[in-house]
Structure 1
Amino acid sequence: MTTWDDATPGLLRLPSGRLVRGRGLHRSNSRHGPPREAPDHGVYLLGRTPPPMAWETRWLRCRDFWTPDPDETRAALTEALQRSGESRVEVACGGGRGRTGLALACLAVLDGVPAGEAVAFVRAGYHPGAVETPWQKGFVRRFGA
């Protein structure tokens, strides 16, 4: 069993105690800089196929400032939440805020945070600018329905 070190930048502690790392793939845009530890599993929200990684990945097609397919998102994040109990899971987009925040907020909903509180939860625990657009916020609210 491998889990994140508590000092790992970009961690969000979910209500269950599980840790998930959020980050930006473009180092110059990332608040947390390059990763020190590799994940075991990653969910990537990008407008095009991400480069090959040395770990298991799920790709959700999602252009910058937009939202991914709800059904694919639920499947990918349900798997990520299950894996986060015993392995290092990360979610990422280009800059590490909008789409990453959306995915982290949806993970929080799956872990028991009410949908109407999930964006604030992620902003308090991960990044104050997480979930950037009104339609991303709406996606999180609908995700909990």
Structure 2
Amino acid sequence: MSDPEPDNGTGTADGEGWDPGAPGVLRLPSGRLVRGRGLRRPVPDGPAPTYGLYLLGMRPPDVPWASDWLRWPDFRLPSSRGEARRLLTEAWERAARGRVEVACGGGRGRTGTALACLAVLDGVPPERAVAYVRAHYDRHAVETPWQRRYVRRFTVPAS
């Protein structure tokens, strides 16, 4: 599903990033902006993502931007930890140059967990990543004890 997006030298395909004050937009410590959202809600106003990572138990509908699907049943953990690490790392890398959206059905549990993992990739210590996402994205993000444990055990790969 994933396709590279063209870059016009200004950070995104059309030169416009996320509005940092828009609902669901999380600023990571590096300054990267990532939008989290629930797919059961309407698409927010504003520019479209340049890349989306969708965290669902079944394949999401097609979207007109580059995207990937990570099989991740509601209230659970990703079906493949290796695939999760690969796709979360890709989303984090793409956020440096484009508008990345991470979404699940409700936008809190799986999305919050994924955003906390992106925060770890961005330098937030794993034991503080859930609190970071709750403070800067949604105070109810990361809904289950096993999702919190997954984030604490999500470490930056050795380079």
TM range, smaller chain: over 0.9
Structure 1 runs not aligned, ≥5 long? 28-32
- 126-135 or 69-78: which moved more? 69-78
Number of equivalences: 140
Question: More helix by proportion, 1 or 2?
Answer: 1
Name the counterpart of 1:30. none
CA distance, structure 1, for counterparts of residue 113 and residue 18 of structure 2: 21
Name the counterpart of 1:113. 124
TM-score scaled by structure 2?
0.85
Could you say what secondary structure the match of 2:52 adopts? strand
- Post-superposition offset of 1:6: 2.1
Name the counterpart of 1:17. 31
Letter in 2 for 1:35: P
- Post-superposition offset of 1:5: 1.8
CA distance, structure 1, for counterparts of residue 31 and residue 151 of structure 2: 21
Name the counterpart of 2:5. none
Name the counterpart of 2:8. none
Bigger relative CO (Cα 8 Å, ≥ 6 apart): 1
Retained in 2: the 8 A contact 1:109–1:144?
yes
Name the counterpart of 2:151. 140
| Residue 101 (str. 1) matches residue 115 (str. 2) | no
| Residue 34 (str. 1) matches residue 43 (str. 2) | yes
- Post-superposition offset of 1:34: 3.0
Retained in 2: the 8 A contact 1:70–1:143?
no
- Post-superposition offset of 1:8: 2.1
CA distance, structure 2, for counterparts of residue 108 and residue 87 of structure 1: 17
